[in-house]
Amino acid sequence: MTKKNVSADDLIAVILKAIDEIKGVDIQILDLREIENTVCDYFIICSGTSNTHVNAISGIIQKQVGKLCKEKPWHVEGEGNAEWILIDYVNVVVHVFQKNIREYYDIESLWGDAKITQIPTSN
């Protein structure tokens, strides 16, 4: 559950559709619910090809979630340099990376106990 009455599944569906719409790549969902002491239930991770693309992905996610789910992020970080933008919807946190920054931080490995689902894209 997010801040209001939108289910995590509905929120995730809107986020994934928005990422795919603007051609985000290498989309993964990390299910953190079985891990103790996590900050949220899900991470959604994707990559963009440039800082402009990363900003566009972040923008469309926030626009679509606002329009369809009536949710605003609790916190957004990283829009200034657009190498790694974090969009926090409380129980769902979205990470939008440039490819080299994603490889450097490798947060998928940091959360190795999470169930990881690779999302196919229409690109």
Tell me how far apart the alpha carbons of residues 9 and 43 are, in angstroms, rounded to a whole number: 12
Q: Is residue 35 part of a domain?
A: yes
Q: Is residue 64 part of a domain?
A: yes
Please tell me whether residue 29 adopts helix, strand or coil conformation. strand
Assign 122 a pLDDT band (cuts: 50, 70, 90): confident
Q: What is the pTM of this model?
A: 0.93
Q: Is residue 27 part of a domain?
A: yes
Q: Where in the sequence is the domain holding 22, given as residue range(s)?
A: 8-119
Residue 108: CATH number of its domain: 3.30.460.10
Say what the pLDDT of residue 56 is: 98
Q: Is residue 91 part of a domain?
A: yes
Res. 24: pLDDT tops 50: yes
The burial class, CB within 10 Å (0-12 / 13-18 / 19+), for 29 is buried
Which of 90, 101, 83, 105 minimizes the C-alpha distance to 43?
Answer: 90
Q: Is residue 2 part of a domain?
A: no
Q: Is residue 3 part of a domain?
A: no
Indicate the number of domains in the chain.
1
